[in-house]
Structure 1
Amino acid sequence: MRLTLFGYVLRTYVRFALGILGGLVLVFVVVDFVDRAKTYTGPGWVTDAAKLYGYKALMAVQQLGPAALLLAAGTTVSALRKQGEVTAIRALTFGPTALYAPVLAFGLLACTGFVVFDEVVATHAGRRVDEITTQRFNRWGDWRFYYTPKQWFRRGDHIFFLRAGSAQEGFADVSIFTLSREFKLQRRLDAARMEWLDGTRWRLTGVVERSFTGEKHTSVKSLESAEYELGIAASAFRIRPGRPEQMRVRELREQIVARRDVGLATKQFELALHNRFAYPLAALPAALLGVGLALRTNRRGHLTAAIVEGLLVAVAMWGLMMVCRTLVLTERLSPPVAAWTPPVLLVLAAAALWMRREGFLHVPRRWLAVR
């Protein structure tokens, strides 16, 4: 009997979850297309737009998945209550666990799937969306912010201005500034080309070296070619352009280390790394919270109330994530705290509802009208 009930509730929840997720993705795609339809022009635009929205739909699955699990949990319990099946479950001496357990089981599976989906599918889909949007429909947005090659780097007392080239092929038209501990300029190297030799040694060609030993003492010399110990390896300059959300975990970790080594900002990359796990895993406590809200006594308008409550929770969590992201970018909050705060709050809310229902937590009725 217990396994039969578990399977029945699980099937009901899965149907609602898949249906709601499909509906949310469809609404997102339609609204986005209507909003941007005038920008899709040119020969073969229909095919290109179809590809674009195919990739956008994949991204939407990852973005809207947690909200779908939350809404599905509430609507599943509400539908069972409306049909009198929750009362029948209680009459058979099965407690709320009979409803929590299937949601918990599928939530664990779905959260794991969202993490893998984001890592393998959504990251690639995001890059393809940027490529099609910029190359085919000439919409650039903030593309330049993420894809313009970095030119300024700092390592120790050296500041590098690398105008062109790469670590593998060598850099062209470079300037290297050496600073004192008091942040005063001691030496400036300008070179037509800079190539890595081994370790932290580099060969500069077409060099103009200026040394500053005082306010009025400057020496200048020109060299056809010279080798310098610059205290930095070629691997430190392998800064990959792109949005951090579109990079896989291994790439994010590499970029965080590389960017930190050369004095570039890493907060956004650290936030993306933590969100790779925190955002999908937030779906689990969100779903359990949806069950707890739907099990409240004296609740009216079951399905409508479940949808409204789920949307309010989703909007509140989305707003909190945006605030946390802003605080990270302005360096007022650490990335781990920003990424994991919404899931932790969902866990606390879901646990409070369960404990209140089981009689372990007393909350004034005017604050939380549940038993």
Structure 2
Amino acid sequence: MRATLFSYVLRAYVRYALGMLAGLVLVFVVVDFVDRAKLYTGPGWVRDAAELYFYKAMMSVQQLGPAALLLAAGTTVSALRKQGEVTAIRALTFGPSALYLPILVASFVACAGLVVFDERVATYSGRRVDEITTQRFNKWGDWRFYYTPKQWFRRGDNIFFLRGGSAQEGFQDVSVFTVTESFDLRRRLDASGMFPVEGMRWRLTDVVERTFDGEGKTSVRRLPEAEYALGVAVTAFRIRPGRPEQMRASELREQIDARRDVGLATKQFELALHNRFAYPMAAFPAALLGVGLALRANRRGHLTAAIIEGLLTAVAMWGLMMVCRTLVLTERLSPGVAAWTPTVLLALVAGAVWLQREGLLHLPRRSLLVR
């Protein structure tokens, strides 16, 4: 009997979750297309727009998945309650765990699936959306902010200005400034090329070396070629352009280390790495919260209330995530705390609802949870 009940609730939850996800994705795609339809012009725009929105739909699965799991949890329990099946479950001496457990298992598996989906599908889809939007429809937005190659780097006492090239092929038209602890210029190297030799040694071609003694005197010498120990390995310059949300976890870790080595900001990349796991996993306590709200006593308008409560919770969490993201970018909050705060808060609220239901926690009667 217990296995049959578990399977029944599990199937109902999965069915509602898939339906909610499909509905949310469809609404997102339609609204986005209507809002941007005037941008899609030119020969073959229908085919290109269809491909664009296919990839946008893949991205929205990852973005809307937690909200769908939250809405499905409340809707499943509300539907069972409206049909009198929750009362029947209680009559058979099954407690709330008969509803919590299958939804807990299904939502946890779904959260893990969303992590894998984000890593394998959503990251690639995001890159394709940017490529189609810029190359086919000539809409750049903030593309340049993420894809313009970085030229200024710092490692120790050396500041590098690399105007062209790459770590693999060498850099062209470079300047290397060596500064003191008080940030006074001690040496400047200008070269037409900079190529890795071994370890932290580099070969510079067509070099103009200027040294400053700190007393206003400058010496200059020109060299066709010279080697310098610049205190940085070639791996430090492997800075990849692109949005951090569109990189895989291994790439994010690599970019965080590389950017930290050359004095570039890493907060946004650290936040994206934490969110790769924190954002999908927020759906787990959110689903449990949906069950707890749907089971509270003296509840009216079951299905409508479940949808409204789910949407309000999703909006509140989205707003909190935006606030946390802003605090990270302004260096007022660490990326780890910002990423996991919504998940932890959802878990605390879900736990409070469960404790209140069990009579272990007494909340004010004016609270939304017991009204």
Residue 285 of structure 1, CA deviation: 0.3
Question: What residue in structure 2 maps to residue 17 of structure 1?
Answer: 17
User: Greater CA deviation, 359-368 or 25-34?
Assistant: 359-368
The alignment of Structure 1 onto Structure 2 pairs a total of residues equal to: 371
Question: What residue in structure 1 maps to residue 73 of structure 2?
Answer: 73
Question: What residue in structure 1 maps to residue 306 of structure 2?
Answer: 306
The separation in 1 between residues aligned to 2:57 and 2:214, in whole angstroms, is 62
The separation in 2 between residues aligned to 1:80 and 1:20, in whole angstroms, is 17
Return structure 1 stretches of 4+ with deviation > 4 angstroms.
none
Residue 94 of structure 1, CA deviation: 0.7
Give a deviation string over 1:150-188, Cα, whole Å, max 9, x none. Answer: 000000000000000011111111000000111100000
What secondary structure, in the 3-state scheme, does the structure 2 residue paired with 1:214 have?
coil
RMSD: 0.9
What secondary structure, in the 3-state scheme, does the structure 1 residue paired with 2:213 have?
strand
Residue 366 of structure 1, CA deviation: 2.0
What is the correspondence of 1:95-106 to structure 2 with a 5 Å cutoff?
Answer: 95-106=95-106
1:149 aligns with 2:149: yes
1:170 is matched by which residue type in structure 2? Answer: G
* Aligned 8 A contact 2:353 2:369 in 1: no
The separation in 2 between residues aligned to 1:196 and 1:8, in whole angstroms, is 64
The separation in 1 between residues aligned to 2:369 and 2:307, in whole angstroms, is 18
Residue 317 of structure 1, CA deviation: 0.1
What is the correspondence of 1:329-344 to structure 2 with a 5 Å cutoff?
Answer: 329-344=329-344
The separation in 2 between residues aligned to 1:317 and 1:368, in whole angstroms, is 16
* Aligned 8 A contact 1:70 1:287 in 2: yes
* Aligned 8 A contact 1:282 1:342 in 2: yes
2:17 is matched by which residue type in structure 1? Answer: A
The separation in 2 between residues aligned to 1:135 and 1:277, in whole angstroms, is 31
Question: What residue in structure 2 maps to residue 238 of structure 1?
Answer: 238
Question: What residue in structure 1 maps to residue 190 of structure 2?
Answer: 190
Q: 1:286 to 1:325 in 2, by over 3 A?
A: same
Question: What residue in structure 2 maps to residue 277 of structure 1?
Answer: 277
Aligned residues with identical type, % of pairs: 80
Q: 1:318 to 1:209 in 2, by over 3 A?
A: same
Question: What residue in structure 2 maps to residue 262 of structure 1?
Answer: 262
* Aligned 8 A contact 2:10 2:103 in 1: yes
* Aligned 8 A contact 1:200 1:234 in 2: yes
Segments of structure 2 that go 5 or more residues without pairing to the other structure are none
Question: What residue in structure 1 maps to residue 360 of structure 2?
Answer: 360
Question: What residue in structure 1 maps to residue 325 of structure 2?
Answer: 325
What is the correspondence of 1:110-259 to structure 2 with a 5 Å cutoff?
Answer: 110-259=110-259
1:48 is matched by which residue type in structure 2? Answer: D
Residue 363 of structure 1, CA deviation: 1.6
Name the TM-score, length of structure 1 as normaliser.
0.99
The separation in 1 between residues aligned to 2:225 and 2:264, in whole angstroms, is 29
The separation in 1 between residues aligned to 2:194 and 2:369, in whole angstroms, is 70
Give a deviation string over 1:277-303, Cα, whole Å, max 9, x none. Answer: 000000000000000001111111111
Question: What residue in structure 2 maps to residue 8 of structure 1?
Answer: 8
2:126 is matched by which residue type in structure 1? Answer: G
What secondary structure, in the 3-state scheme, does the structure 2 residue paired with 1:114 have?
helix
Give a deviation string over 1:40-64, Cα, whole Å, max 9, x none. Answer: 1111111110000000000000000
Residue 310 of structure 1, CA deviation: 0.3
What secondary structure, in the 3-state scheme, does the structure 1 residue paired with 2:223 have?
strand
1:21 is matched by which residue type in structure 2? Answer: L
Segments of structure 1 that go 5 or more residues without pairing to the other structure are none
Residue 313 of structure 1, CA deviation: 0.2
